Amino acid sequence: MKHSLEGGNTVLCRKKENGLVLHRLDQSILVIKISRAEVRNALCDATYAALASTLNDAKDDKGLEFIILTGDGEFFCGGMDLKNGFKAYDEIQDNPVYRFMCSMIECPKVLVALVNGPAIGIGTTLLLHVDLVFALRSAYFWIPFIRACIVPEFASSKVLPEVIGRAAAGRMVLLGQKLTAEEAFQRGLVGELLDCEPKLAVTKVAQTLRESLQGIPHAGSALLESKRLMRLDRVDSVKRAILVELEAVTRRIASGKTGDAVASLRYQLDHQSGHHSEHAKL
């Protein structure tokens, strides 16, 4: 059965599980929407696992070319769900966060982020590993690692300075300063700012993607091969950085120094957002 999506897209299929809503707009475009409004679209282990599974399944989908990742409602992604603090895993392969990170950096499809609101923690660092980033002007970008008494993740200690420059990365990581959408665009973290209504943003981005290939024979295969070449020498070095960072995060957790800081950050986020309980559903 087809479902109607706000903004004028006709959805070929719609599926919701573990905090994700999947929309297949057409053969070439899949939309993954983080839908956990009660926690600012923060990611729990089940959502990380669902994201990893969805991205891994997409590898063998021959008609799929673009995957759009966005948020449901007012937030793009509120980072890691801090409700139960941080969890340490004995084996790295058992860690759904690590599996999600690997699925992103190994994904052969063109990954597109549509940042529809605040991007906090991994909501910002995951943008370093997508191919195209669109953002509404209401978005902002914040990685409050120090406030949670932890260290950078998702290879952001390596990649963030490469993308936005060492000085700006230092202010974000070490001082906990936020970037506005305009600042993120100026720094190269965001590729295009959108002025449309939030409910029309998915339609706008999908239209841009379709038009880029319209009328070009065999454009899809050239598109995916171009992505492969652009990422050719990057995967191994990024994986190494991810492992080093996760080991450092694990040590921080084991030290027992994160509990009070995490509780304080949760309190701050809850009161800043007013819980954002009333979210518009797309």
Q: What is the mean pLDDT of residues 203-208?
A: 98
Give 137 or 89, the one with higher predicted confidence: 137
**Mean pLDDT of the region 66-86:** 90
Which pLDDT belongs to residue 256? 80
Among 140-144, 145-149, 213-217, 252-256, where is mean pLDDT lowest?
252-256
Q: What pTM was computed for the model?
A: 0.90
How far from the centroid of its chain's Cα atoms is residue 248's Cα? 22
Nearest to 104 by CA among 56, 156, 64: 56
pLDDT tens, residue by residue, 160-170? 999 999 999 99
- With CA atoms as reference, report the closest residue to 18 among 36, 30, 40, 31: 36
Looking at residue 199, what DSSP letter applies?
Answer: G
More reliable by pLDDT, 281 or 212: 212
Q: What letter would DSSP give residue 158?
A: H
Residues 6+ apart with CB under 8 A from 209: 28, 29, 66, 68, 110, 112
Tokens of 74: 């007012």
